Structure 1
Amino acid sequence: MISVRQITSLICIFDASIMKIIYSRRFMLAINNLALQDQILKIMGYSLNYKLMFRISVLSIPCYLLVSNTLLNSEFLVVSSVDIPTAFRVFGNFSILVQMTNTILFVFLIINVGQRFKGLNFCILKLVNHEYTKLGMPISNKTPAEYMQMAAQVHARLCEIGKAINSVFYITLIVTTIGAFIFSTTMIFYIFTLAKYGFQNVGFSPVFLFFALLFIQIFTVLKIVLSCNWTSRQAAITSKILHSLSLSDMCVDDDSLSEMVRTFSMQILHHNFSFTAAGFFQIDSTLIQSFAGAVTTYLVILIQFDPKIA
């Protein structure tokens, strides 16, 4: 149990330090391109609420790390009788916290990409709803077709940024998901073992520890999957909006706009924007189903071959 946690955490520390240095140029280029898309979106009539995003980040990230650190160090309740140095009690789970911080950084960046997709969809919807003239003065000299071309360029850049960020975190995504699968299966098996003897006979501390560690692993996978799934969905919504626009009178009356919408739609199909763990598996809602199914399967096998539980 402990070895799996420590090994996955050490690999993620390697990814968070050495690999980030190796991919630093790609990483910084993606961040700079993301800032550039903000400027274009502002010209198109959409401005991100940076203050709100900052406040949410300042409140949520420290709270998450504090709760996670408290749950992680709850294992010292179980081994309180063992003479463990104070420094180890405080920093014993430091490597795991680094892993969690690395996954938080990935989730934060992916959600930011999704926010830009959402803003782009807002701008295109304005065009669909014939509110083009209300988008702002900076683009008043552009035709709807030219405006749609700007939107297509932003969408393409956002897809490239999302894939670039995804590639930088390949190792963390693979190790975190596999580690969470092994650890969750083990924890649930231990919980079944404790239930066999009765929770009241083993005490509160071991039960709390196993549930706390299980919660951390499951929540880590959930936050990765949900953020990737939401961002992918925002990118896919654009094609639905374009379909509505293609059926509107605006496209019927404007051949250049109709052609641009058709080109934009083909571009979205070509990009097929999604997140993967280096191509080994997709990171979307299906991963949660596969994860739960695999844990259940291996748990049934473990229970059947354990005479103490079966």
Structure 2
Amino acid sequence: MGGDHGPEVVLAGAEIARQRYPDLRFRLYGQEAPIRAALARAPKVAAEAEVVPVEGVVLGTDRPSQAIRRARTTSMGQAIEAVKAGEAAAAVSAGNTGALMAMAKIALRTLAGIERPALVALMPTMRSDSVVLDLGANTECDADNLVQFAVMGAAFARTVLALPRPRVALLNIGEEDMKGTGELKEAARLLRAAATDLPLEFAGFVEGNGIGQGQVDVVVTDGFSGNIALKTAEGTAKLVTGLLARAYRASWLTRLGALLSRPALRALKDQLDPNNHNGAVFLGLNGVVVKSHGAADTRGFANAICVARDLVADNILGRIRADMENVRAHLPSAGAANAA
């Protein structure tokens, strides 16, 4: 029921996702009448879907604290509970990000050795997509948190990008070892010590301009810096495409150039289209929860569903648990993390 477009886009996206993965089955939580109406235009989903009527809806304007109090009476809350109860393998929502995060953290708890979940997503680069986390779940992080994010981000890259040993780096104001905060320096020390026991290559520090260049496969940072990096990248993409469109409209000659450049411009647009990278994940929980962008189109929501399916099929939770067992000896406080 969340997002800008409601059940219409969600179910049309599910229809596309099931064409890619015929093994998908769906539980649809929300108000029955609009769901049934949208299902009439999604026959493949309708044949493999169970509608669970729920009248309560989390609005985009709701505060997380308000949503938590109404969790059991809302479609979002019940979808997460289905994951907790083992009735569903993953939950996907385009609704209120803060509410989804808060509900998921309370209901599912964190994996053993993980103190805080992180919001992770793919960002386009000059080489290929890169994994970036945290994108806003934790504004302040200590060294142990950053190491845990690195472990989770590498597991995510091995699943989504099919990289056996992804290159991982910490976002910093310089690549030199002497630069950065005490937390960054300590996290780098711990990752260097633990990297030999992990399926990743620790590349040290990366600067902001290195993200777009694709210098590393996984960029690790706190949620404050990560969210700024994400929004800056999105704004820069819109700036570039806007300036190109203005330049091509300047004269008949540039309009002709635009016509000749149409295949290249289409490829650029596809590379920068957020729908092609849709599907942020709350990593570190005892369950898979994927957040779709609220403005995603049908293709974008289909991508979010496929991300959830891939994470379940590749046992992302098992990968993170195994990697944390290997790194725990290098994290003195890891044993105190919530193991519930």
**TM-score normalized by structure 2?**
0.23
The structure with the largest helix share of the pair is: 1
Structure having the higher Rg: 1
